Amino acid sequence: MSVRSVPRQLTLALGHAESLERDDFMRGPSNAAALALIESWPDWPSHAAVLTGPEGSGKSHLAAIWAQEVGARFLAARSLADAELPAALATGSLVVEDIAEGGFDERALFHLLNLAREDEAFVLLTARTAPATWSLNIRDLASRLKILPVVAMSAPDDNLLRALLVKLFADRQIYVDESLVGYVALRIERTFAAARATVARLDQEALRRKRPLTRALAAELLRGG
């Protein structure tokens, strides 16, 4: 991993956007199976699949990669009941994001999966937990979800966590050295969510103090909780 230290102007809190391009996806053992699923399209049984994993594990990034490749639309799970499902499937593919037990209309999802099968459209579902753990009222929906391939994304290993930190800093136009990345990686929870939260906090504090983000500043902030 090659990183370099470049001072950044700290007078303004500039907006930033995390890149969801394919080339920016961080590959590692924790997401290899999920990436393989996306790359195996269109050879999906039942024309649908499920990506699961904790917050910030990369589900949305993979879904965006797939959507860009196949022209899929996006629909929040909580909006299923209000959506015009035939229109949602108009491009032949759809991402339904953030399905959570008790947080979506079961009948609407059942209808969507049936409609996708009839139209030979593709549906990618994302959720934090596997459908098998959900308590569902519609048995036919439970049966339909049971046959879908489910791939879990897990916590990153050390190399992936360090690469993720570099990317998150770069997304904010902060180019840090390896000593800072290594220091942070050893002192945070090994999750994507923790990496994102820590990078945001360090960036905000550096801006507030009008100081470059260095290992010394990171040590000060992380020691303080």
Domain assignments of the chain as residue spans, ordered by start:
24-152, 156-223
Tens of pLDDT, residue by residue over 12-22, are 334 455 556 66
Tens of pLDDT, residue by residue over 83-109, are 999 999 999 999 999 999 999 999 999
Tens of pLDDT, residue by residue over 168-195, are 999 899 988 999 999 999 999 988 889 9
Average pLDDT over residues 41-49: 92
Confirm if 126 and 54 have CB atoms less than 8 A apart: no
pLDDT score at 103: 94
Instruction: Tell me the H-state helices in the chain.
Output: 32-40, 59-70, 85-88, 106-119, 139-146, 158-171, 178-185, 192-209, 215-223
Provide, rounded to the nearest whole percent, the portion of the chain with pLDDT above 90: 72
Say how far residue 224 (Cα) sits from the centre of its chain: 29
Confirm if 110 and 141 have CB atoms less than 8 A apart: yes
Q: Which of 192, 127, 150, 164 minimizes the C-alpha distance to 37?
A: 150
In whole angstroms, what is the distance from residue 218 CA to residue 199 CA? 10
Whether the predicted pLDDT of 52 surpasses 80: yes
- CATH number, domain 156-223: 1.10.8
Which helix (H) or strand (E) element contains residue 125?
strand 122-127
Whether the predicted pLDDT of 57 surpasses 90: no
In whole angstroms, what is the distance from residue 35 CA to residue 25 CA? 9
pLDDT score at 54: 86
Architecture of domain 24-152: 3-Layer(aba) Sandwich (3.40)
Tens of pLDDT, residue by residue over 106-165, are 999 999 999 999 999 999 999 999 999 999 999 999 999 999 999 999 888 899 999 999
pLDDT score at 80: 96
